[in-house]
Amino acid sequence: MTPIVERGPEGSVAVGPLDQLLNLARKNSLWYLLFGTACCAIELMQTGGPRTDADRFGMVFRSTPRQADVLILAGTITYKMASRIKLLHDQMAEPRYVIAMGSCACTGGLFQDSYAVVKGGDLFLPVDIYIPGCPPRPEALVEGLMLIQQKIEREPVLKNAWSQS
Amino acid sequence: MNLDEIGARLSKELGASVTRQEDVGDPSLCVPSTHWKQACLLCRDLEALDFRFLRSLCGVDRPEAGSLELVAHLWSYRLRHALVLRTRAPRDAAELPSLSSVWPAANWHEREAAELLGFRFLDHPDPRHLILPEGWEGHPLRKDYRQGKTALGIPTVRPGYEPEGAAS
Amino acid sequence: MSDVVELFPDREQLVLNMGPHHPATHGVLRFVLHTDGEIMSRAVPDIGYLHRGLEKLAEGQTYAGYLPFTDRINYLEAMFCNQVYAMAVERLLAVSLPPRAEYLRMIACELNRLANHQISLGCIAMDLGAFTPFVYLVRERETINDLMEALCGNRLTHHYLRIGGVAFDVDDAWLGRLAGFLDHFEPVIDEFDSLITYNEILIQRMANVAVICGEDAVAFGLVGPNLRASGVDWDLRRDLPYSAYGEVEFDVPVGQGQIGTVGDCLERFIVRVAEMRQSCRILRQCLAKLPAGDIQAKVPRLIKPPKGEVYAAVEGARGELGVYLISDGSNKPYRLKWRTGSFAGLSIIEHISRGLMIADLVAVIATLDVIAPETDR
């Protein structure tokens, strides 16, 4: 059921299940952590640039994990960095999401034989969306962001563990 | 100065034999490890050599010869000549004097060679790990390095990937 | 300014952690700052957060199969990394390239230098608080990305070069687009200059900060724009010409110290802006002189160079990018060592950070143009 919007002379009223209204607000204001390790970070920066503007989806970058909703793992993850990424992820307040952007964050990419690369972000973090590519085009990243918006749309907010105190 | 002249000059000053090594590509001079630091000081300080720029300091693992090699690439901006200098140390006890007081650029190159190959540089001002995580075991750039199933608590091979040959 | 302020060594020192996740460090770099609050006594870099073992990976790949990995050594100047590795293998094989291939390599590399400087300069301005120049330059970089995509299929990690030449040829339509881009971009450099280079705040924050004299620069192994800003007039393209650089004319900007001192942060900034202009000049000459012919030399299908070693270097956007390659006669490299400008650039930070303020450290890191993948490999 999508929210019904009634437009009247004094303004608009949206009527719908509370879950949906909350999700509508949440998905259109996802703040991502300004984090990137390698090449995909440059494509992340270009996606936030003028041509493919991530800001029009409500996504701005925040430097501190306390203010971020989504952690985009952009770039290769090494063993030395993995514990720090876990720290960053732990500092984010729930609801938080993780997007693995690029082959290296999905599965380790072309570094399968490397001794120093973690073969995928999901070996130590719960990943929600995987975006393949090396590096993924800005359009591919935007599709991933659309997918996470669709995922958020379907979430039952009021019944989730993190909203029950 | 060309390589033979440099080799002759270094031999004379050091009092030790400096041999020329040549395959295809760049020829180099091989210095005994006992005279490594003196040779480098001479390369930097002699007016005719004036090698002020240490381009790179690279360690090479030679398991069949039982030694570790250290190769220095030098360049002189003023005289516009290059030099490749190398020395060998036994693989199990690769101890060499540090070149950090000769060229400050050598500081980090030596730290990296020490942790990746197992050199020990005497009198190095800061012999900590540079690029490997704390608590890493083994010297990854050695030819016989094999990694375990997990490293720092995370699996090292992606489930479902079978590397051909041994995974390094 | 820092020589006016005294350091109090007996006061308690704070140890602050900066990074590895920090908006102003370029990539994942970490600094441990020993400071009394604002003035630092030391800033110790801690690297290795992007160490992917690329040197060890080379020993398991064939010579041609390693080329895609070279893009990742420094993704902002991927063409130079491709070129230096290809040059090293070509020297071992004693292969010489057809002239069209050399010119195409030069065109691709100089475009890459422009793209790299756009990000570097944009990030310098952004780290000091000015966000607009970054957005301007990222917009221009999109056009270069489009050109690269039309050329070789990828916007960022190009893998355009092959051992013995380049992979794809260009046609007149692409060359026309490149000429149009140059016509559009040269006024943008002037616009950028007028927007930010002589801005009072930028000058206050960067002039006379972290002066590196010429001898120190050479002793610590600095290369590229950092070395030239310290007054050492050296550019591999002009002084040891490789590829077809001997056939084009260009100037090499060296730090003059017109505002501030030779070797300070502002000089490193100004030298990079001047280099962008020279790259445009080289590109125009390449467009005019591009010869016809093959784009690839005859290279054996199975590349097995003879036993030997070679050191090849190119003047990348961050300075001398060198490859030391040892071959043992088989089809895989025996040892491959990358000599990068950022490795040296980062190692000097501990030396010059005495007496600087923490905010100055941001300017120093940005203008030395250090980037994590090149440092850690």
Task: Output the domain CATH number for residue A143.
Answer: 3.40.50.12280
Which residue type is seen at C339? Answer: R
Return the minimum-mean-pLDDT range out of B13-22, B75-84, C210-219: B13-22
What average pLDDT values come out for chain C (377 residues) when binned by 10 residues?
51 82 80 85 88 90 91 90 92 90 92 91 88 86 90 87 90 92 91 85 88 88 90 89 88 86 89 91 91 88 88 90 90 91 87 86 88 87
Residue B123 has pLDDT above 70, yes or no: yes
pLDDT value for A97: 92
User: Touching check for A109 and chain B: CB below 8 Å?
Assistant: no
Q: What angle do CA B100, B101, B102 make, to 5 degrees?
A: 90
pLDDT of residue B65 exceeding 90: no
Per-residue pLDDT tens digits for A31-65: 998 888 888 888 888 888 888 888 899 998 888 89
Chain C residue nearest residue A63, CA to CA: C23
Tell whether C52 is within 8 A of chain B (Cβ).
Answer: no
Which of A34-48, A149-163, B141-155, C107-121 reaches the highest mean pLDDT? C107-121
Q: Which fold has domain C14-376?
A: Cytochrome-c3 Hydrogenase; chain B (1.10.645)
Number of residues that make up chain B = 168
Taken in order B139, B55, C107, C188, the sign of the CA dihedral is: positive
Residue C171 bridge partners (DSSP):
none
Predicted local distance difference test score (pLDDT) of residue C2 = 43
Q: What is the DSSP string of C78-91?
A: HHHHHHHHHHHHHH
Contact C221 B140 (CB under 8 A): no
CA distances to A124, B115, B129, B140 from B137, rounded to whole Å, are 21, 10, 11, 9
Cβ–Cβ contact A123 with B under 8 A: yes
CB B86 within 8 A of CB B30: yes
Residue of B nearest to A123 (CA): B154
A118:B158 CB<8 A: no
What is the pLDDT confidence band of residue A164, given thresholds at 50, 70 and 90? low
Residue with tokens 């900007």: C253
Q: What does the pLDDT read at residue A161?
A: 65
Kindly report the number of other CB atoms within 10 A of residue A103's CB atom. 21
**Torsions phi, psi for A56 (to 5 deg):** -70, -15
**The predicted structure's pLDDT at residue C128:** 87
Cβ C181 vs Cβ B66: under 8 Å = no
Phi, psi of B141 (to 5 degrees): -85, 0
B131–C344: do the CB atoms touch at under 8 Å?
no
Cα A109 from Cα A129, distance rounded (Å): 16
Instruction: Return d(Cα B142, Cα C56) in angstroms, integer.
Output: 9
Tokens representing residue A134 in the block: 């090396």
Chain B's closest residue to A83, CA to CA, is B152
Do residues C322 and C313 touch, judged by C-beta distance below 8 A?
yes
**Partner B contacted by C332 (CB < 8 A):** no
| A45 vs C contacts (CB less than 8 Å) | 138
For residue A1, name the pLDDT band (cuts at 50, 70, 90): low
Q: Tokens 């030679």 belong to which residue?
A: B62
The angle at the Cα of A41, spanning A59 to C199, to the nearest 5 degrees, equals: 80
Measured between CB atoms, which of C76, C135, C156 is closest to A50? C135
Structure tokens given for B6: 């440099």
Q: Which other chains touch chain A, taking contact as 3+ CB pairs less than 8 Å apart? A: B, C
Least CB–CB distance from B155: residue in A113, A116, A123: A123
R_g (Cα) of chain A, nearest Å: 17
- CATH class label, B3-147: alpha beta
Using the Cβ of C53 and the Cβ atoms of chain B, whether some distance falls under 8 Å is answered with yes
Q: Is residue A7 part of a domain?
A: no
Contacts of B167 in chain A (CB under 8 A): 113
Q: Give yes or no for a contact between C358 and C40, defined as CB atoms under 8 angstroms apart.
A: yes
The answer to whether position A4 is within a domain reads: no
Please indicate if any CB of chain C lies within 8 Å of the CB of A111: yes
Q: Is the peptide bond before A135 cis (omega within 30 degrees of 0)?
A: yes
What is the domain range of residue A112? 30-163
- Cβ-Cβ contacts under 8 Å, A118 against chain B: 154
User: B151 — contact with chain A (CB < 8 Å)?
Assistant: yes
On whether the CB atoms of residues C336 and C55 are closer than 8 A, the answer is: yes
Q: Does residue A1 lie in a domain region? A: no
Higher local confidence (pLDDT), B1 or A40: A40
**Is pLDDT at B167 greater than 50 in this prediction?**
no
The residues that bridge with C96 in the sheet, in sequence order, are none
Burial-class residue C297 by CB neighbours within 10 Å (0-12, 13-18, 19+): middle
* Residue A140: φ, ψ to 5°: -70, -40
Q: Are residues C48 and B77, on separate chains, in Cβ contact within 8 Å? A: no
Do β-strands B28-30 and B19-21 pair in parallel, antiparallel, or remain unpaired? Answer: antiparallel
Domain ranges in chain B? Answer: 3-147
Q: Quick check: A133 contacting C, CB < 8 Å? A: no
Sign of the four-CA dihedral B23, B25, B29, B30 = negative
How far apart CA C195 and CA C218 sit, in angstroms, is 33
Side-chain half-sphere exposure of A21, counting CA atoms within 13 A: 9
Pairing type for strands A129-131 and C30-35 reads: unpaired
User: Is the CB of A82 less than 8 angstroms away from the CB of B161?
Assistant: no
Residue found by looking up tokens 């007016």 in the block: B47
Chain A nearest-CA residue for C19: A84
Distance, CA of A15 to CA of C69 (rounded, Å): 54
- Residue among A39, A63, A81 minimizing CB distance to C156: A39
Cβ-contact C33, C361 below 8 angstroms: yes
Specify if A50 maps to a domain: yes
Hey, of A37, A90, A104, A119, which one would you mutate to test binding to chain C, going by the most C CBs within 10 A of its CB? A37
Query: What gap in Å lies between CA C269 and CA C316, rounded to an integer?
Result: 16
- CA–CA separation, C67 vs C83, rounded Å? 9
Mean pLDDT of A6-13: 86
Query: Which residues lie across from C95 on neighbouring strands?
Result: none
**Residue C34 backbone phi and psi in degrees, to 5:** -100, 110
pLDDT score, position C3: 47
* A114 to chain B: closest CA residue: B168
Share of chain A above pLDDT 90, in %: 31
Q: How many CA atoms lie within 13 A of B4 on its CB side?
A: 0
Report the candidate in C208, C223, C215, C231 with the shortest Cα–Cα distance to residue C369.
C223
The strand pairing partners of C217, in sequence order, are none
d(CA C48, CA C269): 27
- How many Å is the maximal CA-CA distance in chain C? 70
What Å distances lie between residue A128 and A101, A106, A148, A150, CA to CA?
Answer: 11, 11, 8, 12
Residues 6+ apart with CB under 8 A from A44: A36, A72, A74, A101, A141
Structure tokens at C185: 């971009």
Q: According to the model, what pLDDT value does residue A144 have?
A: 92
Of B24, B56, B133, the CB nearest to C48: B133
Give, as one character, the DSSP assignment of residue A72.
E
Could you give the percent of chain B with pLDDT greater than 70? 96
What is the pLDDT averaged over residues B91-104?
88
Are the beta carbons of C225 and C275 closer than 8 angstroms? Answer: yes
3-state secondary structure of A150: helix
Contact status, residue B112 vs residue B139, Cβ threshold 8 Å? no
Residues of C in Cβ contact (< 8 Å) with A38: 27, 50, 72, 75, 372-373
Predicted-complex ipTM score: 0.89
Question: How many domains is chain A built from?
Answer: 1
Chain B residues 52-91 with CB within 8 Å of chain C? 52-56, 58, 60-61, 71, 73, 77, 80, 84
* Radius of gyration of the CA atoms of chain B, in A: 18
Q: Indicate the DSSP class of residue C193.
A: I
Q: Which among C20, C138, C373 has the least Cβ separation from residue A38?
A: C373
For A164, B137, B139, B146, B156, the CA distances from B149, given in Å and listed in that order, are 40, 13, 16, 10, 6
